[in-house]
Structure 1
């Protein structure tokens, strides 16, 4: 491949199938504070958002940063306890990224996750070695649907945004990719294909990575 290209992966729900555990841990966190939410609606409203954004939206916009950090840590401890025994990469993921790297494609992670959750997934599953760069919530000011995290990843890779394909599981993330000028592949770990029908930047919708063809993806750029 003569033209530089990149694949940029969301992490939660895209590299690992864990979004139900995030939702369950959020619901438990808020239940401890007398707040209840319907699980599907909560997921649709929050998937892709940073934890601090979710907390301020539901507990108050003026909560100090140090208190937000303590609250976010409480929620993330719950999440890691719930998901820890179930951690594994989505079917076909490691073969796919290994083949992409062999084909000369640059690889990045661009996630709304905080540093400890990135370590919990990428390092403890020995997945970080596949990527040229990892961008997380601590590296950007605005979470998805703002495009910041994807643009930061493209910048660090040295690849034009138009030559990047984003892999996502949530509408908020696909919208962030659209705003970044990037095409997207949807992994339907948590929502059906119909949830993404409005997005004109979606080029594939798949259940996992087993049937994705790297050559045809790159040809779409």
Structure 2
């Protein structure tokens, strides 16, 4: 049995990527920003996203990001509606079995805290860590190594659940066993570095407890 399971947030515990992409595209259109040459931001982080929007002028980049946050301040992400089926059952099952749980996300701290509160899962997670609190974000392994440190576990005792190539690479570099979540219909990403391919989130339970 594994000592800990660490989950990514977007694409793992919540299907938020399509809505995030829709909001960014709406904002870019309103600001007259041509996003036709931008890469796919699936599984990426704010530094990469807004670095593409404004690669040179740091002050303008920060103003745009602040304006983006303000634009949707009264329309928070509907995390409860977008939650992956089986989130509470999976976390509760791990808690009952004595397996420690963590959330390691590239999202800012305020986003992570808002998500945990919206789903009411604070009591089912032992630690949460933002990539922005680490020296380097994904695909560096820092966020996973920091989460393991806080949980008091070694990589060989840990399962990580990820979805994007960037996150899978980060988890792989941490030395943990990596589980890939199934992707939404129409999304095609390279998950070949994963050790295990899940069919649903609940698959984590027998895997972690075996």
Deviation at 1:195, TM superposition (A): 2.9
Q: In 2, distance between residues paired with 1:120 and 1:84?
A: 10
- For residues 37-116 of structure 1, the aligned pairs below 5 Å read 37=36, 42=39, 45-61=40-56, 63-64=58-59, 68-78=61-71, 81=75, 83-84=77-78, 87-116=81-110
Q: Measure how far apart 1:69 and its partner are.
A: 4.2
Q: Is the 8 A contact 1:6 1:163 kept in 2?
A: yes
Specify the alignment match of 1:122 in structure 2.
116
Unaligned runs of 5+ in 2: none
- The aligned length equals 208
- Is 1:195 the counterpart of 2:189? The answer is yes
Please list every run of 5 or more consecutive structure 1 residues that lacks an aligned counterpart in the other structure.
none
- Cα pair distance change 1:177/1:213, threshold 3 Å: closer
Distance 2:178 2:79 in 1: 30
> What is aligned with 1:6?
4
Instruction: Report the CA distance between 1:113 and its aligned residue.
Output: 0.8
- Tell me, yes or no, if the aligned pair for 1:133 and 1:157 is still in contact at 8 Å: yes
Q: 2:33 aligns to what? A: 34
CA deviation map 1:68-124 (0-9, x unaligned)? 444333334556627338634211111111011111111000001112211221112
CA RMSD of aligned residues (A): 2.7
Query: How far apart, CA to CA, are the structure 1 residues paired with 2:87 and 2:16?
Result: 14
Distance 2:12 2:72 in 1: 17
Query: In 2, distance between residues paired with 1:85 and 1:146?
Result: 27
Q: 1:167: which partner in 2? A: 161
- State which drifts further: 75-84 or 105-114: 75-84
Q: TM-score, normalised by structure 1?
A: 0.81
TM-score by length of structure 2 reads: 0.85
Is the contact between residue 48 and residue 143 of structure 1 (CA under 8 Å) also seen in structure 2? Answer: no
**Equivalent position SS for 1:110:** strand
Question: Which residue does the alignment assign to 2:201?
Answer: 209
1:189 is displaced (CA, Å) by: 4.1
